[in-house]
Amino acid sequence: MTEKNKRERKLSHGEKIFPAFHIEADGRGSYLSVLISGIIGVKEFSSEEVGVITRRESIKLTGKGLRISVFEAKTVEISGDIETISFVSKSYRRGKSK
Amino acid sequence: MRIDTFLFGGKRFRVDKGDVSRVAGRFISLGLTAKFSEDGEFTVPLFRLKKYRSALSGIEYTEEEIKCLPAFAINLSKRRGILAALLIVSVYMIFSSLFVWDVRVSGNEEVPTAAVEEELAAAGLSVGASWRSLSFSEVERSTLEKSEKIGWLNINRRGNVAYVTVKEKTVYEQSDDSGLYSNLVASRDCVIEEITVKQGIAHVKAGDTVKAGQLLISGVIPAELGGGFVRAEGEILGSFSEEISVEVPRRESFKSYGEEKLLSVRVKIFKFSINIFKNYRKSNNDYVIIEDVKECTVLGKYRLPFGIYKTYSADVAVNERTYSDKELLTVASSRLAKLRIMKLSDSELIKIRTYGEFTDGGYRMASTVSQLKDVGEERFISN
């Protein structure tokens, strides 16, 4: 069995249907508002850096004067002068391989 | 600020900047909402305080009351002057919205606006009239009935202003046909059976064969009888034969309608309509839309300004049918009978002879109808 097949087998039915997260952005000049749904938690928050965790990835946003709003349905909105958005994939085997 | 916080009041919470991520994480897992400021502040509506407090257990925070609408209302009760002013303004606004503020007329070119406004005022629509007592359709009907210059009229309300669009009557030049003097001529080829002259001079007698357009009674009085012109009047009965026929094809297509399915339900209140239900057709077949309007009335006389509009769709299927010889005869016979009734609606039947034959495509049935009809046609004498 290949590595890809193993990974697919481990995905639950729900994960196959629904994406890990959904992201959309709306900008007005340098002000950007990023809406991310499918959030599990907030890793870090400051006016320069925000880190959020989704089911499969963690997302990091940097900029100036960042604000965070928490909505229902596991959705957060990060707004401010956002400069970068980076995605870091989490390993599926994390916590299992010892 | 959230609308519920503004309306019912709330509290402003402040947590340490370093704790924002922790608090946000807890709110996400508990399904609570919050909008954090740069200082770690967020507002909470009064009726959800307990949930937020329990979510913040173990975290240091401060609470501060927000003065919103309830606090504003309490403060206002102490300032009676402002309260009175607000009350007066709202009463004035409500009161003034009951009356027509302005009537704006458009679409008129020849007829002056003032004349249209005068006619509208006579029908009940004028500045200061009450909207409640106004029925636009009644005003439109009454104005059109009385006006000699307006041919079409539409009234719309926007805010407190009535917008009236008019179209003037087109005046055509009087045609020569409208003169007072006329002749009577034959409307078709026939044999004159009977002629009765009420006014004018007869130019034919019973038994004469005439062609279409031939003069029967003249409105010109000869000089020996006094001269002059009259409007020719009389009754001229002519007999003639005519063939009417129908052909029924052996294979014929006809439409049939399927079951009615509800497509949409719409409630219309005044000029606003609200969609209550809407369905979309799933098949691509041909269909017809049937609209069912139920308007509400009081005692079946006074129409209320709301109604329920339902639309249904019904599939249309085109089917083909092949007639047997016997069926062909029956169908052709019934169709010919209908045609005959139409043709004889204004004449008297003298004799009828019907015959039929099978053709390559189906069956042809024809009748030769001898009938008696008033064949006099009025032709006005031009000046």
pLDDT > 50? residue B247? yes
How much is the ipTM here?
A: 0.70
The candidate with the shortest Cα–Cα distance to B270, out of B166, B134, B143, B163, is B134
Looking at the complex, does the CB of residue B34 fall below 8 Å from at least one CB of chain A?
yes
The candidate with the shortest Cα–Cα distance to B245, out of B362, B111, B355, B132, is B355
Domain boundaries defined on chain A: 39-90
Q: Are residues B196 and B213 in the same domain?
A: yes
Answer yes or no: is B379 within a domain: no
Considering only B159-163, B249-253, B254-258, which range has the smallest mean pLDDT? B254-258
Query: Sign of the C-alpha dihedral, residues B9, B14, B17, B20?
Result: negative
Answer yes or no: is B190 within a domain: yes
Average pLDDT rounded to a whole number, residues B306-329: 86
Q: Are residues B211 and B229 in the same domain?
A: yes
CB contacts < 8 A (A, B): 50
What is the number of domains present in chain B?
4
Report d(CA B210, CA B375) in Å as an integer.
Answer: 10
Residue B372 β-bridge partners: B239, B348
Q: Which residues constitute the domain of residue B145?
A: 102-168
**CATH code, B151:** 3.10.20.310
Confidence at residue B366, expressed as pLDDT on a 0 to 100 scale: 92
Between residues 252 and 291 of chain B, which touch chain A (CB distance below 8 Å)? none
The candidate with the shortest Cα–Cα distance to B43, out of B18, B20, B14, is B14
| Residues of chain B contacting residue A45, judged by C-beta atoms under 8 Å apart | 17, 20-21, 24, 36
Q: Are residues B317 and B258 in the same domain?
A: yes
pLDDT by residue (tens digit) across A23-36?
888 887 778 888 88
Answer yes or no: is B356 within a domain: no
Considering only A4-13, B106-115, B256-265, B329-338, which range has the smallest mean pLDDT? A4-13
Average pLDDT rounded to a whole number, residues B90-105: 86
Report d(CA B31, CA B162) in Å as an integer.
Answer: 50
The candidate with the shortest Cα–Cα distance to B276, out of B298, B304, B315, B307, is B307
The candidate with the shortest Cα–Cα distance to B14, out of B76, B68, B56, B74, is B56
pLDDT > 70? residue B132? yes
Half-sphere exposure of B65 (CA within 13 A, CB side): 7
Q: Are residues B225 and B258 in the same domain?
A: no
**Mean pLDDT, all residues of chain B:** 84
B177 or B314: whose pLDDT is higher? B314
3 state SS for chain A: CCHHHHHHHHCCHHHHHCCCCEEEEEEECCEEEEEEECEEEEEEECCCEEEEEECCEEEEEEEEEEEEEEECCCEEEEEEEEEEEEEEECCCCCCCCC
Answer yes or no: is B354 within a domain: no
Q: Are residues B19 and B52 in the same domain?
A: yes
pLDDT by residue (tens digit) across B134-156?
888 888 888 888 888 888 888 88
Q: Are residues B314 and B258 in the same domain?
A: yes
Report d(CA B8, CA B2) in Å as an integer.
Answer: 10
Half-sphere exposure of B103 (CA within 13 A, CB side): 25
CA-nearest residue of chain B to A39? Answer: B28
Q: Are residues B110 and B158 in the same domain?
A: yes
Considering chain B, what percentage of its residues have pLDDT values greater than 90?
Answer: 7
Answer yes or no: is B342 within a domain: no
Looking at the complex, does the CB of residue A70 fall below 8 Å from at least one CB of chain B?
yes
Which residue in B2, B5, B16, B20 has the most chain A C-beta atoms within 10 A of its own C-beta, making it the best mutation to test that interface?
A: B20
Number of H helices, E strands in chain B: 8, 22
Q: Are residues B227 and B270 in the same domain?
A: no
In CATH, the number for domain A39-90 is 2.60.40
Looking at the complex, does the CB of residue B37 fall below 8 Å from at least one CB of chain A?
yes
> CB A67 to CB B37 under 8 A?
yes
**Predicted confidence band at A93 (pLDDT cuts at 50, 70, 90)?**
very low
> CB B33 to CB A42 under 8 A?
no
pLDDT > 80? residue A13? no
User: Which structure tokens are listed for B303?
Assistant: 């129409």
Quick one: angle between helices B80-96 and B69-78, nearest 10? 110
Q: Are residues B223 and B257 in the same domain?
A: no
Answer yes or no: is B15 within a domain: yes
Answer yes or no: is B339 within a domain: no
Answer yes or no: is B106 within a domain: yes
Average pLDDT rounded to a whole number, residues B198-220: 89
**Predicted confidence band at B174 (pLDDT cuts at 50, 70, 90)?**
very low
> CB A65 to CB B38 under 8 A?
yes
